[in-house]
Amino acid sequence: MDVLTRSAALACLTLASIAPAHALELRYGSGDFDMGAAAKPFISVDTSLEVDTWTLAEPHSNINASPLYYQFRADYFDSDTVNKMTDLASVPLTTSLPVIGSSVTDLIADNTAIPVPADYRIHGVNLDVGVGYDVLKTARGHVGVGVNTGVSTPFMKVRNALPVANLALDMLDTFDTEITTYKAGVAVQGSYQATPWLEVAGNASLNHQTGEMDNGWVGSGIDMDGTYRTLEVAAKIKPAKLLNQPQLKNAFVSIGHSRSDWDYDSAAINTPIGSASVPGMFDANFAHDSTWVGAGYDF
């Protein structure tokens, strides 16, 4: 299935989920986005940025009062531009490969990484949708298991902060990394009505993901595979019962914490010094933590 077909299928599924939603929740979160990327052993990027996240979510909605349910979550995250240090290998990157009698590892074995300041920004969209079955459901809560799918598009922008440091074929100014992956996996979730006005809930998922990466230095259209994991805990408060305000009976506020981890790996890349097929030569690992508050309405 090509990218366009997969995108259309995901869009249709999302619209189908939103249309009959029993509740919609808008969240604003703040937290950290840890990102690491490396074209081993030439360049290494490892930094943490503060990010803002806007989320539209329906964590759990039963279909026609049956044990079947659906869920979705759509995130948009963005950071400010922050100056950090980046490690560049001191290998002369104009050297052509193959080097007679030398491997890629041998080529840089006696070279030291050079710390260079760079400007970073991360932003992107993450979409998760799924269906499941409540294996346990009572008047006070539920436990459900299901399957989910989605798409992730994190984009890392890197710029050299020192013109005099434009060495190594302007590596920093070409190390922008855009990843588009599709994922599928399993999920578990649960909730408990602790009081008439307070509900606590949580969910977790584990997914396989596959897609493509475009990196200005190592090339474009590179196949990526890896894992995607999520964990979330939340509390939902109904002010109508807490404040004895019947007119607010369908409104609620929420607070929670979410974490998402992306782990990617590529086995073959093209670099300015030649082609290399080295398992794990390029990898990227992102982690997104967000503490959020939200407001919603039960329809």
The domains located in the chain, with CATH, are 23-298 (2.40.128.100)
pLDDT above 50 for 111: no
Residue 243 three-state SS: helix
Residues 85, 51, 30, 127, CA torsion sign? negative
Partners of 262 in the beta sheet?
Answer: 228, 286
User: Cα separation of 126 and 207, whole Å?
Assistant: 14
The mean per-residue pLDDT over the stretch 32-55 comes to 78
CB-side exposure of 4: number of CA atoms within 13 Å?
Answer: 0
Question: Which tens digits make up the pLDDT trace of 262-272?
Answer: 887 765 554 54
Nearest to 148, CA basis, from 89, 213, 224, 203:
203
Quote the pLDDT of residue 159.
Answer: 56
User: Cα separation of 21 and 60, whole Å?
Assistant: 9
pLDDT above 90 for 202: yes
User: Cα separation of 4 and 264, whole Å?
Assistant: 22
Question: Which tens digits make up the pLDDT trace of 125-142?
Answer: 999 999 999 999 999 999
Q: Give pTM, 2 decimals.
A: 0.74
User: Cα separation of 163 and 172, whole Å?
Assistant: 11
Structure tokens at 188: 């578990």
Residue 79: other Cβ atoms inside 10 A: 19
DSSP assigned state of 42: T
DSSP assigned state of 240: H
Quote the pLDDT of residue 154.
Answer: 81
User: Cα separation of 206 and 256, whole Å?
Assistant: 20
Residues 6+ apart with CB under 8 A from 259: 230, 231, 232, 287, 288, 289, 290
226 and 180 Cβ atoms separated by less than 8 Å:
no
User: Cα separation of 261 and 129, whole Å?
Assistant: 17
The mean per-residue pLDDT over the stretch 84-111 comes to 43
Tokens 């329809």 correspond to 299
pLDDT above 80 for 69: yes
